[in-house]
Amino acid sequence: MSLEEVGSVFSTLSARPASVNQAEADEWGEEVQRRLSPAASSTADDSLLDAYSRAVTGAVGRASPSVVNIEVQQSAGRRRSGESPERRGGGSGFVFTPDGLILTNSHVVHDARRIEVTLADGRRMPASAIGDDPASDLAVVRVDEPSLTAAALGDSQQLRVGQLVVALGSPYGFQSTVTAGVVSALGRSLRSYSGRLIDDVIQTDAALNPGNSGGPLVDSAGRVVGVNTATILPAQGICFAIGINTAKFVASRLLRDGRIRRSYIGVSAQTVPVHRRVVRFYDLAKESGALVLSVE
């Protein structure tokens, strides 16, 4: 085949159908090239990252002024000489009323002899324990400081699996530490160090470390939806937070009575979804129920 014949074949293959408008075809070709170009792809990726970053930074900006660092001195038992040595510990917390009420974990301040709080602006001041509830691992402490920035409280019942959440705290003394992740599961049960099961616990993959305990778990709007409480150390990305709805109930009772009185029936249960076929057959009003785990 001669060069002229080869050129004729390529010309035929590259020609556009007569039915296609020439201007539209040229515009379509330019749009395809623009979308496939590396620069366009990079710009689109930057836009996505900017949107994610804006969501995280916006939530942190709204919630971080209320986050505090808590340092405690606790009794470490008694020695043979009769002395009572002290051990230092700490965690995080957040202001939930402008007059200085702070919500944190019970295991952070339980049996504390002295509590000191460092605010987000660096001010350091003593605090007193209002009450703590080991059964839900929640506690309320107070500082005598008016006009503090209080965190906005959300609704943990409105959370959805996969929703963006941000954990704030001061792990290992590094204040204003931020980690982001998603809600991994809802309705978990977690056994507190008192032995009682905590219901409606949020599982998240937002990294938690010792010192994050008591800090807030917030949504993309900066509303507190949980109180960071525990992590499974051998695992990667299995962390837990107590739902803010539970925290609201516990905090109100601690403020009123200083403790919570609970009945005890010796049954441990967990909220689980009911199979859709069972819900339809019995025409159940709800799609979840209580699974009895143990009877004591």
Which one of 136, 192, 213, 219 is the catalytic residue? 213
Task: Specify whether 213 is catalytic.
Answer: yes
Q: The tokens 């709007």 sit on which residue?
A: 221
Distance CA(264)–CA(267), nearest Å, equals 8
CA atoms within 13 A on the CB side of 210: 6
Task: Specify whether 200 is catalytic.
Answer: no
Task: Specify whether 107 is catalytic.
Answer: yes
User: Taking a C-beta distance cutoff of 8 angstroms, is the pair 241, 202 a contact?
Assistant: yes
Which one of 64, 137, 156, 192 is the catalytic residue? 137
Beta bridge partners of 240: 203, 230
What does residue 98 show for φ and ψ, rounded to 5 degrees? -65, -20
Distance CA(170)–CA(92), nearest Å, equals 6
Distance CA(182)–CA(178), nearest Å, equals 13
Distance CA(61)–CA(78), nearest Å, equals 45
Distance CA(111)–CA(236), nearest Å, equals 31
Pairing of strands 177-191, 164-169: antiparallel
Length of the chain: 296
How far from the centroid of its chain's Cα atoms is residue 114's Cα?
Answer: 28
DSSP 82: S
Active site residues: 107, 137, 213
